[in-house]
Structure 1
Amino acid sequence: MGSTAGRATAVDGVLDVPVIDITDWHTGTDAHRAALATAVDRAASTVGFLQLRGHGIPEATAQAFADALDAFFALPLEDKKQLRPPSPDINRGYTPPRTEKLSLSLGVPAAAEDLFEAFNVGSEASAYPGLGLPEELYPANIWPSVPGFRQAVEEWCARAGGLARQLTGIFAHALGLEEGYFAPFTDHSLDVLRMNHYPRPERETVLDRDQMGMGAHTDYGIVTVLWADRVPGLQILDTRGDWHDVLPEPGCLLVNLGDLLARWTNGRWLSTMHRVLPPTDDAGRVVRRRSAAYFHDGNWDAEISCLPGCVPAGTEPLYPPTTVGRHLSEKLAGSRAGRLNENAPREAARLRAACDD
């Protein structure tokens, strides 16, 4: 099956991203679960994004997490730079503004560096004793000495990670698989939480036309759980090549699918390209924006090849088999280390064909 033609609708340029309530997934009737799985399949096939209600993360947890982000990003730049990893190949610690070009992960050069700054934490090898996991893929986290930061971030990771694992069960059901199908691919998952900040300029600035808050990219792994301010900036690319604004509904988390699910489903489900324009107010002035993406990416050594039933008889899969570790390394070498990823020709073609409004 190839990618389904885009059937998502936009009102005043803002894309209608389906809102799905998963409150009763574990306790609902078979009919209720089937209807929910059908709604997820429709969103995954037409938009690649959905808005999640009933996610179970308390508002107090989200507020404590947002406060922790504010406290960290308010530090002086030189203090934050002390928390950079020893190498850009290590996906941890602080990333200063204008040091990444996300479009390179798709094999497309960017005219200018992205504006955002970020801080990453993720799965550590020490959390899985006895597995001999590679330290370069599961490195130790780098923590700032900001009171309460680590506690709030680890709590958010636990909640978002639990939600991501619940979603993989719903995904399996929607694809006609056993609910635990993805568990062997994710029991030592390479999960990363990336906290993003688009700072307000200290003085009025005129931005280059090609300047991006965050360049166009697809997410690399299985599923992303995204917390974000209700500030304009996030845009997603539909299957006709048009960019649309996306704003999360109050109380909802945005969820989008990554490359590995697109590979698994042979393009039936979409790993949707998205970007962040420099956030601006109604007067066109650059404003502050925050977001946090929890990437549930799978085991480094898991092999990803097309799922049963996703390749029509007499055809070949759209994507060759790969491993999670190999795929992530190629993508991260582009975005973080500035090396053009030459193994994303389909995605690069989509970006080059996009209508850049």
Structure 2
Amino acid sequence: MATAETRDGVLEVPVVDIGAFDDGTEADRDAVAAAVDRAARTVGFMQVVGHGIPQTTLDAFTAATDAFFSRDLAEKSTYRCPPGVNRGYTPPKAESLANSLGLTSAADLFEAFNIGAQAADFPGLALDETDYGLNPWPDVPGFRAGVEAWFAAAQGVARTMTRVFGRALGLGEEYLAQFTSHSIDVLRMINYRLPAADAELEPDQVGMGAHTDYGIVTVLWADDVPGLEILDDRAGTAGRWHPVRPAPGALLVNLGDALARWTNDQWISTMHRVAVPRIDGVLVPRRSAAFFHDGNPDAVIAPLPTCVDATHPARYGPVTVAAHLRAKLAGSRGGTLAEGAGREAARLTGSRPDTPHSSE
């Protein structure tokens, strides 16, 4: 069992084998759904194996991203997109993820490149390119092929997970399809472009600031290098940061804010960050790739019928996926402190609101 170890104890990040979900018996499918439900209610993260992605697909993908990130900054910056377009290159220190919580922080150290679903991928639908955007493809041999193959593979895992979620929530495996038929899916390739090993960093500067993910589910590949940390705050205090390393062959899967809202906070959108990667006190390189399965822009996020009753009234008012994502991205990428994020920000300060907030 993969664990996140701290000085004060052990936080378990469960390993879930999803291989039997498509190929197993009804009992097997129920067992997978039950394991995911437990992880979603207690940690919000899980280590997913049995995903079926070949090593050759991963090798081609990492070779492609390494080739791009090794280019000089001036060349990479030609693929930078204007504010409000969630595609293309982001240079180091251009974002502060904590802004998405309405909190100020030093600029994050990472650089990234985003590609995602385009309006043309859904012929017959009049989709707004503000939400989908065009992918700028770098002139790097093998980049597009390697990245598109990984995008398709990670998307397949995300869609399997949404079917598991529907079963786990007692709504049926196809229930969430109504919210994901033309999902705003984005793949973010991340390189922790660090200064010299002995460099002085700004106070509280990190690789990537504390944040929750915004959509339904995130499928994360990462190097087996220290950095990723998740916040243990289930008891209602500020909690402690727990380092997490990927299990061999596993993808880290975590839930986003949209799914937490849909489940009326019965499932957890876990606060996480990436500390400056260090081994034996020395700054080291780290790579990751996060696939965000965020839902249809016109889908309305409101607590699901199986997650609301007299004892658990709705904690959130309705909001569209598009409006929710734009508010979050305006914070992390646009430099505008997000409003209405008090519930999330309180996880870092230790003061959790006592009453529901319909505007959050």
TM-score, normalised via structure 1 length:
0.93
1:320 aligns with 2:314: no
| Equivalent in 71, 75, 88 of residue 79 of structure 1 | 75
Deviation at 1:224, TM superposition (A): 0.3
Structure 1 residue corresponding to 2:246, chosen from 242, 245, 248: 248
Alpha-carbon spacing, 1:42–1:203, altered in 2? closer, same or farther (3 Å) = closer
Partner of residue 264, structure 2: 266
| Contact preservation (8 Å) 2:44, 2:269 | yes
Residue 12 of structure 2 is aligned with which of 13, 16, 21?
16
1:27 counterpart residue number: 23
**Pair 122,9 (structure 1): closer, same or farther in 2 beyond 3 Å:** closer
**Could you tell me which of 156, 166, 174 is aligned with 2:160?**
166
Distance in 2, matches of 1:15 and 1:108, equals 26
1:67 is matched with 63
1:97 paired to 2:95: no
**Map of 1:49-60 to 2, 5 A cutoff?**
49-60=45-56
Amino acid corresponding to residue 104 of structure 1 in structure 2: N
Question: Are 1:181 and 2:179 matched, yes or no?
Answer: no
2:223–2:286 Cα contact (<8 Å) kept: yes
Q: C-alpha distance in 2, partners of 1:304/1:269?
A: 14
CA 314–272 in structure 1, closer or farther in 2 if over 3 Å, else same: closer
TM normalised by structure 2 equals 0.93
The answer to whether the 8 A contact 1:51-1:254 is kept is yes
- Equivalence for 1:335: 332
1:231 to 220, 225, 228: 225
Could you list the per-position Cα deviations for residues 206-256 of structure 1 after superposition, in whole angstroms to 9, with x for gaps in the alignment? 222310100000000000000000000100001242110000011000000
Task: Name the CA distance, whole Å, in 2 between partners of 1:188 and 1:260.
Answer: 16
* Amino acid in structure 1 at the alignment position of 2:316: Y
Mapped pair 1:46 → 2:42: yes
* Cα distance in 2 between the residues matched to 1:109 and 1:160: 32
Q: Partner of 2:51: helix, strand, or coil?
A: coil
> What is the distance in 2 between the residues matched to 1:346 and 1:203?
36
1:297 is aligned to 2:294: yes
Distance 2:49 2:222 in 1: 14
Give the 3-state SS of the residue equivalent to 1:136 in structure 2. Answer: helix
Equivalent AA in structure 1 for residue 65 of structure 2? L
Whole-angstrom distance in 1 between the partners of 2:4 and 2:145: 39
The alpha carbon displacement at 1:203 in A equals 5.6
Query: Which 5+ residue runs of structure 2 have no aligned equivalent?
Result: 352-360
**Partner Cα distance (1:315, 1:75) in 2:** 52
Q: Point out where structure 1 has 5 or more consecutive residues left out of the alignment.
A: 1-7
| Equivalent residues of 1:233, 1:276 under 8 A apart | yes
Q: Is the 8 A contact 1:300 1:323 kept in 2?
A: yes
| Residues 64 and 147 in structure 2, CA contact (< 8 A), matched pair in contact too | yes
Amino acid at match of 2:216: I
Residue identity opposite 1:291 in structure 2: S
Root-mean-square deviation (CA), in Å? 1.5
CA distance in 2 between counterparts of 1:317 and 1:207 reads 43
Give, in whole Å, the separation in 2 of the partners of 1:26 and 1:124.
28
How far apart, CA to CA, are the structure 2 residues paired with 1:172 and 1:206? 47
Q: Deviation above 6 Å: which 4+ runs of structure 1?
A: none
**Identical positions, percent:** 60
Residue 216 (str. 1) matches residue 226 (str. 2): no
Match of 1:154 in 2: 148
- How many matched pairs? 344
Counterpart residue identity of residue 109, structure 1: T
Give the distance between the partners of 1:274 and 1:233, measured in 2 at CA: 10
- Contact 1:199–1:287 (Cα < 8 Å) also in 2: no
TM-fit CA distance, 1:311: 1.6
User: Structure 1: how far apart are the matches of 2:219 and 2:83?
Assistant: 24
- The offset of 1:204, in angstroms, is 2.4
